Amino acid sequence: MKTLKFLFILVSFIGLVGCDKKDNEEITNLDVEKYIELLKSDQFVSYKIPAFTSNDIPSLLKYRSDNEIVTKFPANGISSFAMIEPKFKLGVLVLWTVESIRISSLKNSNNGSFPSQNPFIALRNNPSEWVLDYNNQAYSIISQAYFDWWENNKNKDFDQFKSIDPLINTNYIWH
């Protein structure tokens, strides 16, 4: 039994030491263009969203209507929902990334935290009713809501409007 315990500890240690911290730093310190390039080529491999700032929002919003399919994107560890064959639309992932910036700034944290459990929306008045079809008109509505939120506030200091939920005047929330 001691041999098994020792073997488990040894394998765990090697796994921890073997992690390449540089790879993690590269993922979290991406610029928007490299992030989009990695998403589009399904080469974005990370356990979290890059730690962008409000300065990156205009560049991200340029892709809000991009319908290209992305199959690799980090999953929120607290979510029990898992897609068998994930097919996210780039524009939705970009909006979720903008929401991550907003939520992280509210928490005074710039660690690329997840803004919600999953990158899809639910009905505000019935959060258990998810909108999983990315072709649903709801995604056009939230795209416009984020664009309007930014355009109406972009000349202000981000601290003045980061607490305003871009989806407040819609029937949707992030799941």
Identify which of 140, 42, 142 has the alpha carbon closest to the alpha carbon of residue 87: 42
Domain count, the chain: 1
Residue-by-residue DSSP string for 100-124:
HHHHHHHTT--S---SSSSSSEEET
Per-residue tokens: 71: 């199959």
Q: Is residue 143 part of a domain?
A: yes
Domain range for 134 is: 20-174
Identify which of 113, 133, 112, 114 has the alpha carbon closest to the alpha carbon of residue 122: 133
pLDDT of residue 139: 92
- Within its chain, how far is the Cα of 21 from the centroid? 21
- Provide the 8-state DSSP code for 75: P
pLDDT of residue 175: 78
Q: Is residue 12 part of a domain?
A: no
Q: Is residue 13 part of a domain?
A: no
Q: How far apart are CA 6 and CA 3, in angstroms?
A: 5
pLDDT of residue 117: 67
Tens-digit pLDDT string for the chain (175 aa):
555 454 444 444 444 434 444 444 445 578 999 999 999 999 988 878 888 999 999 999 999 999 999 987 776 666 555 555 668 899 999 999 999 999 888 876 554 577 776 788 889 999 888 887 877 899 999 999 999 999 999 999 999 999 999 999 999 998 7
Q: Is residue 72 part of a domain?
A: yes
Q: How many CB atoms lie within 10 A of CB 64?
A: 21
Q: How many CB atoms lie within 10 A of CB 68?
A: 13
Q: Is 113 exposed, middle or buried (0-12, 13-18, 19+ CB in 10 A)?
A: middle
Q: Is residue 15 part of a domain?
A: no
Q: Is residue 3 part of a domain?
A: no
Q: What is the dihedral of CA 150, 154, 159, 160, to 10 degrees?
A: -90
pLDDT of residue 79: 57
Q: Is residue 14 part of a domain?
A: no
Max Cα distance, the chain (Å): 65
Q: Is residue 115 part of a domain?
A: yes
